[in-house]
Structure 1
Amino acid sequence: MMLNPYGEDAVNLAADLANRRPESATELADRCRAAGLVLERRVTPEDLGRARAALDAWEGIVDAHGEQERADLLNRMLAEAAAYPRLTSHLGTGWHLHYRDAEQPLGSVLFTLFAVGTALHLTGRGMHRLRRCEVTECHTAFADTSRTGRQRYCSHRCANRDAVRRHRARAARI
């Protein structure tokens, strides 16, 4: 089975930006570049606003109650981002698919990337593979990219914290 990395990269970027929202257009551009996005245009404050709207919509999908609600919210996001797929080889990066119109500003690119990437991730790996960390005081959103599809925590740190908490609770009862 081949898993589409387009979905994985997109949901991981969405989670990263949602969990620690960029505070400026410059920070948004830097973090997108660090994630491997090729930026073809100058990033503006309008892009930051559109990116925040994309993140708000994406977090609604993360927090959806049940598969149908998740699908409905994602379908709304996809409808807003709709463009036909096209082949591109911009800046010598090799041929690949873009699910957006050419020459879009970064905010719109991110909206489309998050919508399509999340759809590919959820349909390819399972509708349950987008969630928040199970540690009570942690509200971090993450995409479950594990082989088994049973990831419950956003990080090893939170998994360890919860294991220690469970161990201490058991020890206190003895």
Structure 2
Amino acid sequence: MHLNPYGEDPVRLATDLTWTPPATAGELTDRCRAAGVVADRAGTEHDLAAVRAFLVRWLAVVDATDPARRAALLNDLLAESSSSPRLTDHAGTGWHLHFRGDDLPLGAVLRALISVGTALHLTSRGMDRLGRCALADCARPYADFTRGGRQRYCSPACANRDAVRRHRARAAG
């Protein structure tokens, strides 16, 4: 059962953009297109700056540990970034819901996609399904898409590094 087909891709894109921020507007555009974002126009330097500023605020949602605080921060982003839902077939790929207006710059498209995607992710999977990597020297954000909801690391590599560290600490002690 796929619980959240609309929220997963934008939330994965948000974590990817925070892990490795795009250096140029062209890179932002390329990465969005590779992630499946349909944008009417390429990103500009203004879009790049807007996305960077937005992601700082999105990380505050990730870092909020109290569900009510997380919801309040995300509600602010939703109010600023999204619009009433409506049906569209703008890309000719089938009818789907949009939570944004037409002909927006790439930065505004991303703010809407990520805000709504995060809201869908948290309400369908659980308000605790965002976090920071438990590996002490990492702290990258992650979105927990696991079935059991017990993710603590941003990647299998970090989980393995921490397991090796714990194993070596036990073996030395």
| TM-score, length basis structure 2 | 0.96
Aligned residues: 173
Corresponding residue of 1:151: 151
Structure 1 residue 2, shift from structure 2 partner: 4.4
Corresponding residue of 1:133: 133
Q: Structure 1: how far apart are the matches of 2:93 and 2:159?
A: 37
**Structure 2: 5+ residue runs without aligned partners?**
none
Q: Runs (4+) of structure 1 moved beyond 6 Å? A: none
**Structure 1: 5+ residue runs without aligned partners?**
none
| TM-score, length basis structure 1 | 0.95
Identity of aligned residues (%): 60
Structure 1 residue 154, shift from structure 2 partner: 0.9
Q: Structure 1: how far apart are the matches of 2:18 and 2:151?
A: 19
Structure 1 residue 13, shift from structure 2 partner: 0.5
Corresponding residue of 2:52: 52
1:1-174 correspondence runs (5 A): 2-173=2-173
Structure 1 residue 168, shift from structure 2 partner: 0.8
Q: Residues 109-147 of structure 1: CA distance to partner in whole angstroms, max 9, x if unpaired?
A: 111111110000000000110011100000211100011
Q: Structure 1: how far apart are the matches of 2:46 and 2:158?
A: 35
Q: Structure 2: how far apart are the matches of 1:38 and 1:72?
A: 28
Q: Structure 2: how far apart are the matches of 1:56 and 1:113?
A: 16
Instruction: Please tell me the root mean square deviation across aligned C-alpha atoms, in Å.
Output: 1.1
